[in-house]
Amino acid sequence: MKTKSSYLPYILPLRSIIFLFIFIIGTFITGKKAENISNWWSVVASIVNIVTILTLIVISKKQGNNYPKLINYEKGKTTAKQILTMTLVILTVGLSGMYIAGYICYGIIPYTAPMMIAPIPIYLAITNVILLPVSTVFAEEGLYLGCGVNQIKNKHLAILVPAFFFALQHCFIPTLFDVKYILYRFLSFLPLTIILCLNYSKTRNPLPIMVGHAIIDIATAGQILATSTIPGLYETMCGI
């Protein structure tokens, strides 16, 4: 059963602010441009995910609840059909959103931002194959569904506001000071985040969303692992 805490929706911009702050600080520390440290986005994301999860756990305890209650998780509520259906929806809408946004912003189909699969140190790439997908779903669904959809009383705003910030955070993962890139990232994810928030507002079942979301992130982390371990693969994939 969901609880209402008036302050929780105000933390929805939290991840966008943290990502923006980290990459700005990163440019000063390294003395490099933002695009030259963008390949570290997955490592930064995993760290921010852990911070987000710990924050949500603390918030839940202060409410006298726990994380499962925050997101309305109920054991035995989910069927394999629900997971499969939502996974297909996420894959279809997610890829379509990226390709359409790529065409709108760059005039290319299919378009994918090359820095999203850029190589990183191998040991980090291996760790992130598991850490990134698992931490992401608990952090993002906990924040945008648990603190957003579950907490905003107006049924329309309960979908649109969390969906907006859900999509907005991707504009800063990684952060590049390029208006076209920021627009591309926002448009890529907005259709999907609206659908996820709409589905959750009707079902109050986070598990199918979390599983489908994790599969996308596993694929991304797998690509990063591949480019990190196979010399020349990144250049080849960017040239496709």
* Tokens found for residue 14: 């939290």
Rounded to whole angstroms, how far apart are CA atoms 223 and 228?
A: 8
pLDDT at 1 > cutoff 90: no
Q: What is the pLDDT of residues 194-235, one digit of tens each?
A: 999 999 999 999 999 999 999 999 999 999 999 999 988 888
Rounded to whole angstroms, how far apart are CA atoms 127 and 125?
A: 6
Report pLDDT for 2: 46
pLDDT at 181 > cutoff 90: yes
The distance from CA 203 to its chain's CA centroid, rounded to whole angstroms, is: 21
* Tokens found for residue 133: 């997908």
Find, among 112, 89, 68, 81, the residue nearest to 192 by Cα.
Answer: 89
pLDDT at 126 > cutoff 90: yes
Q: What is the pLDDT of residues 105-116, one digit of tens each?
A: 999 887 778 889
* Tokens found for residue 69: 């209650």
Rounded to whole angstroms, how far apart are CA atoms 194 and 188?
A: 12
